Amino acid sequence: MKNLTKEFQTRQQAYLTRRQLFRGAAFGIGGMALGMLGCDGPANPHEAIAEGITRGLHLAPHAKRVIFLHMAGAPSQLELFDYKPELAKLDGKLCPQSFLKGKRFAFIKGVPEMLGPQFSFQQYGESRSWVSELLPEFSKQVDNVTFLKAVQTEEFNHAPAQLFMHTGGTQPGKPSFGSWVTYGLGSDNEDLPGFIVLVSGESAPSGGKSLWGSGFLPSNYQGVEFRSQGDPVLYVNNPKGISRDVRRNTLDAIGDLNRREHEEVGDPNTLARIEQYELSFRMQMTVPEATDLSGEPDYIHELYGTQPGETSFANNCLLARRLAERDVKFIQLYHRGWDSHGSNDFENLHGGFKERCKEVDRPMSALLTDLKQRGMLEDTLVVWGGEFGRTPMQENRGGITNPFKGRDHHGSAFTMWMAGGGLKPGLTYGATDEFGYYPTEGAVHVHDLQATILHQLGVDHEKLTYPFQGRDFRLTDVHGRLVKDILG
Amino acid sequence: MRSQLFIVLITGFATWLAVFSCGGANDKISFANDIRPILKSKCMACHGGVRQLGGLSFLFEEDMYKPLRSGALAVVPGNAAESEVYRRVVSDKEQIVMPPAGNRLTERETELIRRWIEEGAKWEEHWAYTLPVKADIPAGAEHPVDYLVGQTLLSKGLFPAPAAAPTTLLRRVYLDLIGLPPPLKVVQTFARDPSEEAYQKIVDDLLQSPHFGERWAAWWLDLARYADSQGYQKDHIRRTIYLYRDWVIDAFNQGMPMDSFTIRQLAGDLLPETTDQDMLATAFHRNTMTNDEGGTDDEEFRVKAVLDRVNVTMEIWQGATFSCVQCHSHPYDPVRHEEYYAVKGYFNNTLDADLTSDYPRIPLHSSARTRVLSALKSKAEQAAISDEEIASLKEAIAELERPLPVPVMQDLPDSVTRVNRLFVRGNWLMEADTITPQPPTTYDKTGKEFAQDRLGLARWLTDGGNPLTGRVLVNRIWAELFGRGIVKTVEDFGIQGNEPTHPELLDWLAVNFTHEQHWRLKPLLRTIVTSATYRQDSRIDSTSYERDPENKWLARGPRFRLGAEQIRDQALAVSGLLNEDIYGPSVMPHQPEGVWNVIRHVARWQTSPDGQNHRRGLYTFFRRASPYPTMLLFDAPPRDLCVSRRIRTNTPLQAMVTLNDPVFVEAASALSERVRKATPDDPKTQIRQAYELATAHPPDDYQTERLQELYLLNRDEMGSDAAAMETVCRAILNLDEVLVKR
């Protein structure tokens, strides 16, 4: 704790000085979000009203930012959080017909066998929350965490379900969560994008880049991917042979000529363009500075298990904290490889799945510890989960039992957890039946989850709208209900 | 002093405007102009298509006059006191007054309603659903467009701007008609002789240019949601779909009338004498996504594709927001839930079924391929040709002789047609009544019967009795040139859409286009670009900006940032790098390592060989799961859905592209080499030439000196003439006046 305080002070100092420097150089765009200048925005009959009422804060915010840890591929809740001893008793028995009637599955055909929990569970913390043996570090965090045990989605294929979670729609083309948030709230850091995406794991998520696309919102609200190889942001670095001084000279000339252009022609977009060029110059400093993990002290690397230069979930968790410190509004992580069907060892609950747990357990726990010790967990909302859950049945692809232990896609009930951001810590909300198949209480639909996250940011999900194809669209479509019981 | 005078002027103007728009005391109240806007903003959320509280809806004529659930009549013509609507809006009782919450009606509004009822409560249709009428243009008027725009300017107390400088106009019309900047030679010739004849000649030449089709294809492909991949998780490559893109370019270049263009794309397979090219055109509706993720229900995604075809067709040609009607009757437009499924009936019978193979596909050639093939064949027949050349030609010929399998639309045979049913609340698993194909009643003013298949639908869309198609299409073209449609919501001509700023102009253009110009795009464009309205200077003085920031009244010329493709094409053209080849497979210009790593296992980005990576932007390979970054950063849509209007943004990431993206780095370097070669050892002339190449006018003294200063500064810093000139060229390519059309 002591070395943290010291580190914190020096860095805070350095950061403030830098900000002042940039302020002096900038034209002062006030609270404007990155790239919001000079956009020709929505064209609708109630344009003025839309600008005034539908955007911005509606409520007192509890969280200033969101870190969303998406486990792409959908981890099994039955092996991690939703402990079902009754299911163990049915292990290997044929699935009851009542589970299959009127139900559509991605892969299960005919009558599959039930599959008991594959790992042992214990209760932890004052909250006595259940966590399996696969997450030893995380089990120490349960009192910081709010569990949602009965999240529900409408899709059982990866791409549509991921799109549903992150855009509120099942087909590509809708604005993503972070786009809505930055559209509504702008950005608190004028020198970095307000919506940043970090990807790790086997490859990228199934939903493709639509998951962080701006859909029909203006393109300045699209998520900006911070890459771990090559330029951290596409084209942020000068071409070979161009020093910062040479670039400065060039931008000065562009700026002077553009100002003259503005004097003669009077287009306000020209002024906006001058500012965007200056901003790009500042980002050439802020982006490498924000993404450089090498300056982090050893004990922090130890805490997260980070290796600077690697592409890993651990590095991305630490990077997420650094971006949160810099007031980035929406930080979206994807870690892929959770699709445990049992059709090969990568998709084996005792193979790839266990590996994934190892990859995420320490970093995600470290993120909570680190945010907390910096006093940032209070106003940072951390969200963890997949796009759906897994069936209590063992998958029998095409009617034949898979060679490894695995489960099919299941959207009727799965576990997600959240931490910080003004929620009740140590709470378990919702429950499933004795086999983890359907909710028995506290069901939370994906749209409810979205409404609740927006609420914590101070946004009424029914009021954050954008006109497209003749109607006012929103993240929660025409649904969404605030989950009041989990609010602190 | 000056500002006070200005305020007085403005206030006076506003009062005058208010009186004017209210209608004088003697004018009859119009339901469409005066009453419907009130109902739309304050009543229709509860008394529209979705909710009809108390049994009242203002959407359809027959619904408004029928008895309410209470037995009362909402509207009793001639008697406001007896009309429930009027009684409710003027009531002072909390439980009675309407609307029950939110904004009450103003006195002016209740008075309008009273007068309208007293005057007989006559129903009027929404303007877009009545047939367009061509306004009379007085015999002396120079140009119909200018006459109609001028009338509006006068009524607003605005004055048109003077004509743009000849070279400014030249660059504008080049970018608008072919999407490329004018060559220096043309600029200099036109600067010497900017006569009317010279301009007309240039317009004619541009309309005949083979690059014309490329520019307008880039516009169409957003609507057609064209992409080189299937979408969703696997996002498999569609290797042959580019033949459809080439069909579009070709259609524009050949001047195919837009009615024929429509019919072929929607129903080319159903034409009595279908050609290969007609079949190719139907790939238009095979640009829907295919979901090859394991464990998906093919029927679910087949249905999604069918519904997409319904929505896209109605958006492109009717400016109708049809997706609203998928789940319930339209909340604001007079379209009933059943009518959506009546349109779906036209599309529900095709062979495709969300299969990975994109079945059905048939082997096809594009005209472009055929032309290249015959050129190669005649070349191979020439005498003076080496054996080596012959061999490679033969190989190329063999390659081109093989037709490519392209996804097309084909109907199921009669014996196995699908039953078309309504989906309850849009849910495809909840089927209800059987519905036969039919156009939506409100949009149908043809009074004719059409076949109940896609061909019937296409013929109905392009019938003279369809009030929307002509208007919607000319408005889209207008928006491309002016940056804003006469109806700003180019995608929505319904009640929620914007009113036309120039209704008479819209109708004149529409009728002229569909009747006199026989649906031909080139004459329509010629009409617009030869108007004085189009040729105005785009300078914005502060008063005109305050009066009309969006330039909707057209008291100045268009001025806005170039589109994603044009930004790229211009940089390549100015620097001399552009490969002007037309048609052919999509290409992969330089893209940073790793951008495609996000897509699992399916395909690799392999940078195209030299030359091919300097093709125009519309040939850039478009992968839905990971579109070319520069395109997205400059507001191109991801092509999952039909997008009628790109929203222009202005961001620091765009600055990074034009400063640092290797394509633009190359362009600056090539431009520098080009001017250094032209006048070695004369940096001033080099700078002036680079500037003129990029802007179509020579720099003035300040501009020249400022860039010379940059040159000297960076030369000191970098110790190299060439390197310094490259930074000057980069500065030029990043100037506001280069990035905008002005």
SS3 letters across B121-163: CCCCCCHHHCCCCCCCCCCCCCCHHHHHHHHHHHHHCCCCCCE
Residue keyed to tokens 């209740």: B110
Cα–Cα dist B103/B107, whole Å: 12
Q: Is the pLDDT of residue B101 over 70?
A: yes
B647 CB near a chain A CB, below 8 Å? yes
Q: What is the mean pLDDT of residues B341-364?
A: 96
Compute the nearest-CA separation of A110 from chain B (Å).
14
What pLDDT score does B669 carry? 98
Q: What is the mean pLDDT of residues B339-364?
A: 96
What pLDDT score does B103 carry? 81
What pTM was computed for the model? 0.88
Q: What is the mean pLDDT of residues B593-603?
A: 72
Q: Residue B233 and residue A40: Cβ atoms within 8 Å?
A: no
In a domain, A259, yes or no: no
Q: Which residues of B touch A42 (CB under 8 A)?
A: 647
Q: Enumerate residues 580 to 619 of chain B having a beta carbon within 8 A of any beta carbon in chain A.
A: 592-595, 597-601
Mutation for testing the B interface, residue in A34, A249, A274, A402 having most B CBs under 10 Å:
A249
Q: Enumerate residues 61 to 100 of chain B having a beta carbon within 8 A of any beta carbon in chain A.
A: none
Q: Residue A260 and residue B703: Cβ atoms within 8 Å?
A: yes
Q: Is the pLDDT of residue B34 over 80?
A: yes
Confidence of residue B59 (pLDDT cuts 50, 70, 90): confident
Q: Residue A203 and residue B627: Cβ atoms within 8 Å?
A: no
In a domain, A341, yes or no: yes
Nearest Cα neighbor of B173 from B534, B564, B570 is B534
Q: Is the pLDDT of residue B284 over 90?
A: yes
B15 CB near a chain A CB, below 8 Å? no
Contacts of B458 (CB under 8 A, 6+ apart): B262, B263, B266, B267
Cα–Cα dist B352/B346, whole Å: 14
Q: Residue A104 and residue B235: Cβ atoms within 8 Å?
A: no
Nearest to B652 among A171, A203, A279 (CB): A279
Residue of B nearest to A225 (CA): B595
Q: Which residues of A touch B647 (CB under 8 A)?
A: 39-42, 216-219
Query: Exposure string (b/e) for B590-599, b if CB count within 10 Å is 16 or more?
Result: ebbebbbbbb
Q: What is the pLDDT of residues B392-449, one digit of tens each?
A: 899 999 999 999 999 999 999 989 999 999 999 899 999 999 999 999 999 999 999 9
DSSP letters for B185-243? HHHHHHHH---HHHHHHHHHHHHHSTHHHHHHHHHHHHHTT--SB--TTT--B-TTTHH
B657 CB near a chain A CB, below 8 Å? yes
B391 CB near a chain A CB, below 8 Å? no
Q: What is the pLDDT of residues B547-569, one digit of tens each?
A: 898 899 999 999 999 999 999 99
Q: Residue A37 and residue B650: Cβ atoms within 8 Å?
A: yes
Between A30-39, A114-123, B685-694, B699-708, the lowest mean confidence (pLDDT) is in A30-39
Write down the mean pLDDT value for chain B.
92
Nearest Cα neighbor of B175 from B574, B720, B674 is B574
Q: Residue B632 and residue A219: Cβ atoms within 8 Å?
A: yes
Burial of A442 (0-12, 13-18, 19+ CB in 10 A): middle
In a domain, A261, yes or no: no
Cα–Cα dist B89/B107, whole Å: 10
Q: Which residues of B touch A239 (CB under 8 A)?
A: 660, 662, 665
Cβ atoms of A357 and A384 closer than 8 Å: no
Residue of B nearest to A211 (CA): B625
Cβ atoms of A212 and A195 closer than 8 Å: yes
> CATH number, domain at A480?
3.40.720
Compute the nearest-CA separation of B299 from chain A (Å).
13
In a domain, A102, yes or no: yes
Residue of B nearest to A272 (CA): B650
B633 CB near a chain A CB, below 8 Å? yes
Q: Which residues of B touch A243 (CB under 8 A)?
A: 717-718
CA angle in degrees (0–180, nearest 5) for A140-A146-A147? 95
- Report residue B139 as tokens: 């015999």
In a domain, A267, yes or no: no
Compute the nearest-CA separation of B141 from chain A (Å).
30
Cβ atoms of B248 and B217 closer than 8 Å: yes
Tens-level pLDDT at each residue, chain A (488 residues): 455 656 655 555 554 444 333 333 322 222 333 333 334 444 332 332 333 334 457 888 999 999 999 999 999 999 999 999 999 999 999 999 999 998 889 999 899 999 999 999 999 999 999 999 999 999 999 999 999 999 999 999 999 999 999 999 998 889 999 999 999 998 888 899 999 999 998 777 888 888 999 988 888 898 999 988 888 999 999 999 999 999 999 999 999 999 999 999 999 889 989 999 999 999 999 999 999 999 999 999 999 999 988 889 999 999 999 999 999 999 999 999 999 999 999 999 999 999 999 999 999 999 999 999 999 999 999 999 999 999 999 999 888 888 899 999 999 999 999 999 999 999 999 999 999 999 999 999 999 999 999 999 999 999 999 887 767 899 999 899 999 999 99
Counted across chains A and B, CB pairs separated by less than 8 A come out at 268
B624 CB near a chain A CB, below 8 Å? yes
Cα–Cα dist B445/B460, whole Å: 10
Between A247-256, B67-76, B242-251, B274-283, the lowest mean confidence (pLDDT) is in B67-76
Element (H, E) at B23: none
**How far lies A399's CA from each of A96, A402, B295, B298, in Å?**
15, 9, 13, 19
Compute the nearest-CA separation of B210 from chain A (Å).
31
Q: Which residues of A touch B324 (CB under 8 A)?
A: 469-471
Q: Which residues of B touch A216 (CB under 8 A)?
A: 641, 643, 647
Q: Residue A280 and residue B655: Cβ atoms within 8 Å?
A: yes
Domain count of the fold of chain A: 1
Nearest to B297 among A40, A104, A193 (CB): A104
Q: Which residues of A touch B489 (CB under 8 A)?
A: 43-44
Strand-pair category, A145-152 with A444-445: parallel
CA angle in degrees (0–180, nearest 5) for B485-B481-B314? 45
Q: Which residues of A touch B600 (CB under 8 A)?
A: 202-204, 206
Q: Residue A250 and residue B331: Cβ atoms within 8 Å?
A: no
Q: Residue A249 and residue B717: Cβ atoms within 8 Å?
A: yes
Q: What is the mean pLDDT of residues B10-24?
A: 40
- Report residue B634 as tokens: 């400059």
Compute the nearest-CA separation of B382 from chain A (Å).
47
Cα–Cα dist A282/A276, whole Å: 10
Compute the nearest-CA separation of A220 from chain B (Å).
6
Compute, in degrees rounded to 10, the torsion defined by CA atoms B80, B81, B84, B85.
Answer: 40
In a domain, A377, yes or no: yes
Q: Residue A45 and residue B496: Cβ atoms within 8 Å?
A: yes
Nearest Cα neighbor of A330 from A225, A200, A209 is A225
Contacts of A191 (CB under 8 A, 6+ apart): A19, A22, A34, A279, A282, A283, A285, A286
Q: Which residues of B touch A38 (CB under 8 A)?
A: 649-650
Q: Which residues of B touch A234 (CB under 8 A)?
A: 592, 595, 629, 653, 656, 661
In a domain, A66, yes or no: yes
In a domain, A76, yes or no: yes
Runs of H (alpha helix) within B530-615: 542-547, 564-575
Cβ atoms of A205 and A339 closer than 8 Å: no
Cβ atoms of B599 and A203 closer than 8 Å: yes
Cβ atoms of A183 and A229 closer than 8 Å: no
Residue of A nearest to B706 (CA): A253
B708 CB near a chain A CB, below 8 Å? no
Compute the nearest-CA separation of B714 from chain A (Å).
6
Q: What residues make up the domain containing A464?
A: 2-238+294-486
